[in-house]
Structure 1
Amino acid sequence: MTSVQAPPSRVPFYLSALVAFHIAIIIASNYLVQLPISLLGYHSTWGAFSFPFIFLATDLTVRLIGKSPARRVITRAMLPALLASYVVGVLFHEGHFNGMAALGDFNSFVFRIALASFAAYVLGQLLDIQVFDRIRQKNRAWWLAPAAASVFGQALDTAAFFSIAFWRSIDPFMAANWQEIAVVDYVIKLAVSLLLFVPAYGVALAAVVRAMRRSSVPAVAVP
């Protein structure tokens, strides 16, 4: 698929929007991962359906702006996301509002989730960027780079998150089931990414290309 690079004057705006988007998805996912669900008899969490949005945004960032700006998005988003995830996780622990007074006591369970999310986000996104950019430069099939990046990036993200957050957790259910939940979570995220978000990536990229061409932005071929 032929694409265009974003004009340099618009890059700061895109970076700010992407940082805000990443932080919002991380906060939402850290809240939703506290809410277990059962699918066909297997344990998982609602967070499996929200987090793949970040990989879609990251892959579009690499395609339209480049690998280095995509890494800057991660650098700018990770610490605010860690803090915001902890605050939101404490205030809405176990799915209900606990009041501002809850912030007065340190919640080690929520902090582990926020810390795990921090580590998993950085590791998974950096691997996603590397895999996506390497394949993008060597293969012109538009779908191959986002598909491969999702397979590897989400595998590392899922393994890091669940092992850090729930190994020997104080929550008996998560401590006993985190490995099963991690596998099911990965399968769900991968299915959502390959069946929904990779096609959505193609649609979004084509829409961006058309919009830039209508704006008479000089096209620069991106492999």
Structure 2
Amino acid sequence: MNRTHLPGIAAMAAIVVASNILVQFLFGQWLTWGAFTYPFAFLVTDVMNRVYGAGPARKVVIAGFVVGVICSLIGTQITGEFGPLVTLRIAIGSGLAFLVAQMSDILVFDRFRAGAWWRAPLISTLVGSSLDTAIFFTVAFSGALTFIDPANDVSWAGEMLPLLGAGPVAPLWVSLAVADWMVKLGLALLALIPFRVAVVKLTARPA
């Protein structure tokens, strides 16, 4: 890791910290404000991967993971209306989802690196985002995994409701996951613009 990678580390750290703060604030019925900041972690990873390669991208991900763990540790010490802001399940789900999703993003990006400039970032982000959502919400809220933290009552997340208020009946946490996933997919498309701009600026040639 050299000083040219520091902006990527700083950007990743800022996104992780901001997302950990904004996840405490609701946006509508199914989302938090953190849902709109966290997906840009994939943008940082993809720009690092394209410009500097998979190795430096992985180091930036590890830095983001460490920052996320620190945020989780701090969150466990802050008590909200319903208990600690960060429970053991949320901490495990968040860390596992981040690490698996970001590392998968890097692998998929490499697989499509030689194609059209937009293929690698788009496909890798779609795969990574899907893994991130599936892992986090399942680990944090699924009733099947209550053994992870039996003292943590997440029965509220299992309430059976119409999916996103209008679809088939499903646990509440599934609606939260689907809404989060849809935001990630939309931002994956929008992020292609800053990805292209950042890569061209950093390399002074087309990505």
In the superposition, the TM-score normalised over structure 1's length comes to 0.73
Within 5 Å, which residues of 2 pair with 1:32-47?
A: 32-38=22-28, 43-47=30-34
Residue 114 (structure 1) aligned with residue 91 (structure 2): yes
Q: Is the 8 A contact 1:31 1:88 kept in 2?
A: no
Alpha-carbon distance between aligned partners in 2 of 1:14 and 1:159, rounded to the nearest angstrom: 33
Q: Greater relative contact order (Cα 8 A, min sep 6): structure 1 or 2?
A: 1
Counterpart in 2 of 1:143?
118
Letter in 1 for 2:71: A
| C-alpha distance in structure 1 between counterparts of 2:155 and 2:53, whole Å | 43
Residue by residue over 1:74-128, the C-alpha shift from the partner in whole angstroms, topping out at 9 and shown as x without a partner, is: 223323321223314644847xxxxxxxxxxx93843432322110110000110
Contact residue 34 and residue 93 of structure 1 kept, 8 A:
no
Task: Point out the more displaced range, 29-38 or 197-206.
Answer: 29-38
TM-score, normalization by structure 2: 0.78
What SS class does the counterpart of residue 136 from structure 1 fall into?
Answer: coil
Aligned residues: 186
Are residues 207 and 179 of structure 1, via their aligned partners in 2, closer, same or farther at CA, if it must alter by over 3 Å? same
Partner of residue 209, structure 1: 203
Cα distance in 1 for partners of 2:15, 2:79 equals 16
Tell me the SS of whatever aligns to 1:48.
helix
Among 17, 20, 29, the alignment partner of 1:30 is 20
Residue in structure 1 matching 2:104, options 86, 109, 127: 127
Task: Quote the residue 2:10 is aligned against.
Answer: 20
TM alignment of 1:56-67, pairs within 5 A: 56-67=43-54
Q: How well do the aligned residues superpose, as a CA RMSD in angstroms?
A: 2.6
SS in structure 2 of the partner of residue 170 of structure 1: coil
Q: Which one has the largest radius of gyration?
A: 1
Map residues 188-203 of structure 1 onto 2, 5 A cutoff. Answer: 188-194=183-189, 196-203=190-197
| Cα displacement (A) at 1:172 | 4.9
* Unaligned runs of at least 5 residues, structure 2: 144-151, 160-171
- Structure with more helix by fraction: 1
Structure 1 residues without counterparts, runs of 5 or longer: 1-10, 95-105, 214-220
Structure 1 residue 173: Cα displacement: 4.1
Check 1:24–1:123 CA distance in 2 against 1; reply closer, same or farther (3 A cut).
same
